[in-house]
Each structure stands twice: as C-alpha cells, then as structure tokens.
Amino acid sequence: MTLLSYLHCNPSKSLPFQRFRYPLISAHKLFDGSSQRNATTYINHTISEALRRSSPSQALAIFTKNLQLGLSGRSNINEVTFCLALKACRGDTKLGCQVHGFSITSGFTSFVCVSNAVMSMYRKAGRFDNALCIFESLVDPDVVSWNTMLSGFDDNQVALNFVVRMRSEGVVFDAFTYSTALSFCVGFEGFSLGLQLHSVVVKTGLESDVVVGNSFITMYSRGGSFRDARRVFDEKVVKDMITWNALLSGLSQAGNLGFEAVLVFREMMREGVELDHVSFTSVITTCCHENDLKLARQIHGLCLKRGYATLVSVGNMLMSSYWKCGVGEDMESVFDQMSERNVISWTTIISANKDDAVSIFRKMRLDGVYPNEVTFVGLIDAVKCNEQIKEGLKIHGMCIKNGFASKLGNSFITMYAKFEALEDAKKAFDEINIREIISWNAMISGYAQNGFSLEALKTFLSSAAEATPNEYTFGSVLNAIASAENISLRHGQRCHAHILKLGLNSCPVVSSALLDMYAKRGSIDESEKVFHEMSEKNQFVWTSIISAYSSHGDFESVMNSFQEMVNENIAPDLITFLSVLTACNRKGMVDKGYEIFSSMTKDYYLEPSHEHYSCMVDMLGRAGRLKEAEELMSGVPGGPGVSMLQSMLGSCRLHGDSKMGEKVAELVMEMEPELSGSYVQMYNIFAETGQWEKAAEVRRKMRKKEVRKERGTSWVDFIDSDGSLTTQDFSSGDKSHSKSDEICRIVETLGLEMNMEEEVAFSELFNEG
C-alpha cells in the first residue's frame, strides 16, 4: 500500500502532517510530477522485462500504446523509453525508422543516449552509412557514441583510422573501446597500433580489466607473438573461462604449437576451470594440425563425459580431426551421433566420402540443409575424381539456378578438363567476370593435361594482360612446352627469363618444371644448371634430373644420381625406377636392370606398373633373351598391353625370330587392328628372313583393312614480320604452306650446294692421296 492510499483510508492519521501543508497548487504539481515519474519508471521497467524475456514485439506494443497516450496529452515517455524501444527493433529497419521519426518529432534526439540508440539500430540493420551520418551530425558525442560507430566497421584499416581519430580528438577510452579496437589490430600496422594501445592501457590502469586483458591475449596470439600472449595471461590476477580460451584458441590455430595448446588445456582442467564448447573445439583443432589420433580419441571421450560431443561445433571439429587422421569410421560415427547437423557437418562428410558424395548430398537436401559454396566445391571434386559426367552437369545446372556458378568457375574448369570436355571448360572460364591467376592456371593446366599444348601456351600468353603468373602457372605452361615438339624451345627460354624476373627460380615446383622442360627438349646442360642452382632437392627434383639423364642415354649419370638420391635418404618413386630401368635398357645392362626391378618390391614396397614390365620385356628382348621376356610378359597383372607387345615384336625382328614374332603380331592386330606399326614390323621380319609370300600377305591385309603407315612430322621456327615467334610443322611431300614452292627451291639449292661441297672434299682427299 502506498503512502497516499494509506492516508486516504485513514484520514485521522493525516493530522500530524497538516502543519507541513503546501499551498494547494504546489501540492497538485508535486503530486502530478511524482505520479508521472512513477508511471514512466513502470513503463520502462515493463519494456525492459519484455526484452529480457526475448519478447521484442511485446516491448514495442507497450511503447506504441504509451506513445498514443502521449499524443492525447498524457505522455509517460522519456529518453530511456525511446532507447529501449529502439533496442526492441532488433535490426528491423522499418520499425526502427518509425521510432527514429517519433524521436525527432518529439525532440528526444537532443538526448545523446537516444542518438546512440538510433545509431546502434541502424548499425545492426546493416545500414552503417545512416548511423555514420547521424554520428557526424552530433554536436557533443560521448564515448558510447564513438564505441557504437567503432564496433560497426567491417574494414580493419578504416576501423584503425577511426581509432586514431578518436585519440586525436581526445576521447577517453573505456574497456569496451580498447577491446573493440584490439579486435581490428590485424597485420603489421594493426599490430603496431595494438602495441601502442597496450602501453596506454598500462598507464591508465586498465590492464587489470578482464575483458581488456582477454583482448590483448587474442591480439598477440593472432599476430604470432605467443610469448607476449602468455606474458599477459600470466600477469592477469583474475582469469575467467574466456581468458583461458583466448590463449588456448590462439595456440591451437597457430598450427605448430599443438604441444603447448595441450599443456594449457590440461592446466585448465587441473585448475578446475569450467570447459565449454570453445575449449573443446580449440583443443580438437590441435588434433587436426598434429594428426594425433590418440589425443583426438581422448578428447572425444572427455566430450562425451561432459556432454559436449553432440553439439554441432564440437562434432564438426571431431569429424575433421578423424578425417585428417584417416579413420573414416570414427568420423561417420560422430556424424551419426550428432543431435543436430549443419552445412559444415554435411560438407565434411561429403568431402571425406568421394565415392558416395552424390548420395550423401541428396540426403543433405532431404534433411533440409541448404548447401554453401564449400559444399559444392567438395561435391564437384568428388564427381570429377569419379568421372561422373552426368552428375557433374546436374551440379553445374543447380549452381547456375542457385547463383553459385560465378563463384565456382575454377572448380568447373578443372572438372570439365578432367572430363576432356575442353569446350565446356572454356565456356566456364569465359563466364567468370573477374579472372584471377587461379582461373588462368586452371585453364592452362586443363589444356596441358589433355595434350593441347599450343592452346595452353596461347592461354598463358593471354593471361599476362590480366594477372601476374605464379609458380603453378609456370609449372603448367612449362609442362606443355616440354610435351610438345611443335612449340619452339625459345618459348621455354622466355618463360625462364620471366621466372628469373619474378624471383620464382628458387621455388621447387618451378625449378623442377624448368629442369624437366629443358631435358625433354634436348638441353641437358641447361637441366644440369637448373639442378645445381637449387638449394633444396626433393623427390620430384631428383626424379626429374634422373629422367633427364635417362632420356639422353647417360647411364653413368643416371646411376650416380640414383645412388646419391638414396644416400640422401630420399625414397625413389615409380617414375624414378622407370627412368633408371630405361637407362639400363638403353645401355644393355640387363643384370643391373633386374637388380633394380627386384629392389622396387623388396626394398621400397612399390608394385611395378605396366610401364616397368614393358621396359623389362624390352630390355630382355633387345639382349636376345626372348624366352625370359615371354615368361615375364605372361606374368604381368592384367596381361600385356599394346606397347609391351610392340616392343616384343621389335625384339623378334631384331633377332630374326619370325615364329614368336608372328604370334605376338597376331595379339597386337587383335587388340589394335588399325595400328600400322605391327603390320610394318611383321612385314620387315618376313622380308628380312626371306619369307616373301608371308610378307606379301601382310601387305594385302593392310590394303584390305585400309591400314596406312603414319607419316613422320618435323617442325621449324620462323619469325613473322611483326616479330612474333611461330612454329610450322611439315612432313614428306607437304605442300600446305603458302610458300611451299619457294621452300622446295631453296631446299633443292641447298642440296646442290651440299653435293658440290662433298665433291670438292672428295677431290681434295684424292689429290692428297
């Protein structure tokens, strides 16, 4: 019961108060003012309670009702009411603008707290420009005004400039200002400003504030200064759960400080600090970086014990950890046990299960989860690896429909290139609005991998106008130049010059590609030079130089390099062994070849491929050990291929074994009836052994099946009138060039000059004799 109601019910009790009576008008004014203040306080309290219960619509209904009463002359609204109403808008621009309009017409925008609330509303609604406009119009903004604007910036540099402006205008920072400003201290300039802010905080005595201290730990961790982060942590008297998580998260995300992160986590448990989902996701991140399966399972057990294993964020990190540790069953078990799955959960399981990615994606859609860009990247990669062309087309159509196609252009280029659909790859490339170097790399690589070397080179030359090439660009284009004899070596040399200019010559990927290109194009000296200039030599580099020596028939250099590679504790791979076997084959070192072939499985546990068996068969065949070659060929997994049979056929011709040659030729003709090489080889075998009737029969078979011998082709470089380099291919009797008659006359003239030189040389030799 209020004092007024008590006196009304007990009039006799009011006598002692009569001597304190005010004039009647003054008493009415006092009563009316007190009543209004009580009503306003009650209204504000009611709106606050509605907001506390997460009922913004109820809060706005109370505000609207009392606003209508105010318009009828009974206003119980003050500046606090408007602030609460703006908070209740929760980023709804339409409602917020209406409340803003009422605050202007009623004059409440003169209160800085109302202007701050309006700015906060616009900021949360994503209309930061409106908030900034209001801020710039303020005559005397307070620290809350500055903080409201500071927390709304998206660009780190712009935010840091604003912080500098605050300091220059003499704004006294509070804990919120420092914590917000430190969140923008990224990069060299940001970190430098953070150091300055730290010294100011020490001077002002705010270093003991928990929120500010936590922000400094995060800033130092993000900047890679973990000693300073640990120092701030150790100096804090009061440490809450966020303090521990800030240090733990920073160490976990560093990638190479997993051991330290685990120690901090154990220290948290020993100190009895309450663990939450951030604590668990941070320490599980360490398991991902370290690929520590034992630790991952221990943390998983603790998550189950504490009841966090079914949470989406924790479950997602556990899935990633098990995936990177190579235990798919455990990953799927976590996925199945999750009470709720978001797009990250589904994307992880799709990326980890390439064989079933499409069916999992369908289940994801049935579960009502909408895919994001990363989901489609994983899905496209899966269908690309499985060569599911129809599914790839469907996914492309879905991405176009949902507006993802422009963002996934690079993935579609690589997908179509894998499908050998280069026209579709080029179409996807052309549809990319802003082409960065990764897009050009995808297109260049697609052409190179499908044997379209000239197109790869042309695309590389076109890319120079839009982007700066990187190591992967040069790796692809050098591979194209190496694989195509119809591209001039000068283009490779020009690439080399460009690489030196960009400073990419120290990159192992580029150096290996250069080495391989020079070797395949006959410049073994340049290959050696590139090899010796390399500071680090990995497996790929050693294999490249060994392959280079092998292709040039340098057996001694191959074996020396191979032995040096083994001495460096670098394990050779299948390609390395193939190059060594090829060198043994060309040198006729059969026993050494057998020794190398045996060491593949015995010492390095490598299963020989068809190419290795083919090389061994050719080696034995060239040495005349045809029976051994036949026995080895019969034991090849999956049976011998065409190339193996052809090399065997060549050995039969070399040693005049027409009986075995005929048997091998029949197998080749059965597998590749249109291949001219086997017919020609068999004809030569019969002709060289005097079996002319059988030779004629081979000729008749060729004519009947319309098999033609492929013509050899050569290339010549010439410089156009504009200075550009062009390569022209030609073959015997070729008249396709526009100046073929002139070329033939010059060749004829050169031939006559050569004959004359030869006659002169003979006559001089004869006269000397």
- Paired with 728 in beta bridges are 716
89 pLDDT above the threshold of 60: yes
Q: How far apart are CA 244 and CA 644, in angstroms?
A: 65
Specify the pLDDT at position 69: 67
Instruction: Write down the residue that tokens 């319309």 correspond to.
Output: 706
Backbone phi and psi for residue 726, each to the nearest 5 degrees, phi listed first: -130, 145
The number of CA neighbours under 13 Å toward the Cβ of 533 is 17
Question: Letter for the amino acid at 741?
Answer: D
Q: How far apart are CA 758 and CA 750, in angstroms?
A: 12
Average pLDDT over every residue of 262-270? 89
107 pLDDT above the threshold of 60: yes
Specify the pLDDT at position 494: 92
Geometric angle at alpha carbon 248, from 247 and 253, rounded to 5°: 100
Q: Helix %, strand %, coil % for the chain, to 5?
A: 75, 0, 25
Specify the pLDDT at position 72: 46
120 pLDDT above the threshold of 80: yes
Specify the pLDDT at position 499: 94
Please state, in angstroms and as integers, the Cα–Cα distance from residue 693 to each residue in 306, 352, 502, 697, 698, following that order: 89, 63, 65, 6, 9
Please state, in angstroms and as integers, the Cα–Cα distance from residue 520 to each residue in 219, 475, 538, following that order: 51, 14, 20
Domain 35-152 has CATH 3.40.50.970: no
Specify the pLDDT at position 410: 92
Average pLDDT over every residue of 70-90? 73
**Both tokens of residue 267?**
């220290």
CB-based contact 365:358 (threshold 8 Å):
no
Geometric angle at alpha carbon 716, from 715 and 718, rounded to 5°: 145
CB-based contact 409:428 (threshold 8 Å):
yes
437 pLDDT above the threshold of 90: yes
Q: How far apart are CA 288 and CA 296, in angstroms?
A: 8
Long-range (24+ apart) CB contacts under 8 A made by 206-213 are: 206/175, 206/178, 207/235, 208/236, 208/237, 208/238, 209/175, 209/178, 210/236, 210/238, 210/239, 210/240, 210/242, 210/243, 211/175, 211/176, 211/179, 212/175, 212/178, 212/179, 212/182, 213/243
Angle between helices 210-222 and 241-254 (to 10 degrees): 0
Specify the pLDDT at position 291: 79
pLDDT band per the 50, 70, 90 thresholds, residue 561: very high
Specify the pLDDT at position 498: 93
Q: Which fold is adopted by the domain 609-713?
A: 1.25.40
Q: How far apart are CA 618 and CA 102, in angstroms?
A: 93
DSSP 3-state of 728: strand
609 pLDDT above the threshold of 60: yes
Average pLDDT over every residue of 60-76? 68
Q: Looking at the chain, how many residues does it have?
A: 769
678 or 413, greater pLDDT = 413
CB-based contact 481:491 (threshold 8 Å):
yes
CB-based contact 145:112 (threshold 8 Å):
yes
CB-based contact 439:410 (threshold 8 Å):
yes
Specify the pLDDT at position 21: 37
128 or 728, greater pLDDT = 128
413 or 68, greater pLDDT = 413
Q: How far apart are CA 133 and CA 255, in angstroms?
A: 43
Domain locations along the chain = 35-152, 609-713, 715-768
Specify the pLDDT at position 706: 56
pLDDT band per the 50, 70, 90 thresholds, residue 292: confident
CB-based contact 307:339 (threshold 8 Å):
no
DSSP string, 266-295: HHHHHTTPPP-HHHHHHHHHHHHHHT-HHH
Report which DSSP code applies to 13. Answer: G
Q: How far apart are the first and last CA of the chain?
A: 146
The set of residues, in sequence order, having a beta carbon less than 8 Å from that of 247 and lying 6+ positions away, is 217, 221, 229, 230, 233, 264
Specify the pLDDT at position 23: 39
DSSP string, 663-727: HHHHHHHHH-TT-HHHHHHHHHHHHHTT-HHHHHHHHHHHHHTT--PPPPEEEEEEE-TTS-EEE
Q: What percent of the chain has pLDDT over 90?
A: 30
CB 695: neighbour CB atoms within 10 A?
17
Please state, in angstroms and as integers, the Cα–Cα distance from residue 86 to each residue in 91, 123, 152, following that order: 9, 12, 17
CB 280: neighbour CB atoms within 10 A?
24
Specify the pLDDT at position 49: 85
Q: How far apart are CA 384 and CA 604, in angstroms?
A: 31
Burial class, 372, CB count within 10 angstroms (exposed 0-12 / middle 13-18 / buried 19+)? middle
10 pLDDT above the threshold of 50: no
The set of residues, in sequence order, having a beta carbon less than 8 Å from that of 655 and lying 6+ positions away, is 621, 624, 626
Please state, in angstroms and as integers, the Cα–Cα distance from residue 43 to each residue in 29, 135, 261, following that order: 21, 28, 50
Report which DSSP code applies to 486. Answer: T
CB-based contact 689:698 (threshold 8 Å):
no
DSSP 3-state of 265: helix
Specify the pLDDT at position 327: 86
Are the folds of 35-152 and 609-713 the same? yes
Report which DSSP code applies to 657. Answer: -
**Both tokens of residue 568?**
């460096």
pLDDT band per the 50, 70, 90 thresholds, residue 29: very low
Instruction: Write down the residue that tokens 């899905």 correspond to.
Output: 379
**Both tokens of residue 218?**
């995060």
- Paired with 204 in beta bridges are none
Long-range (24+ apart) CB contacts under 8 A made by 522-527 are: 522/489, 522/552, 523/489, 524/548, 524/549, 524/552, 524/554
**Both tokens of residue 112?**
């800085």
Query: What is the dihedral sign for C-alpha 294, 297, 299, 305?
Result: negative
Nearest partner of 166 among 188, 142, 201, 185, judged by Cα: 142
Q: How far apart are CA 661 and CA 684, in angstroms?
A: 11
pLDDT band per the 50, 70, 90 thresholds, residue 743: confident
Nearest partner of 473 among 438, 426, 506, judged by Cα: 438
Specify the pLDDT at position 422: 93
Q: How far apart are CA 226 and CA 218, in angstroms?
A: 10
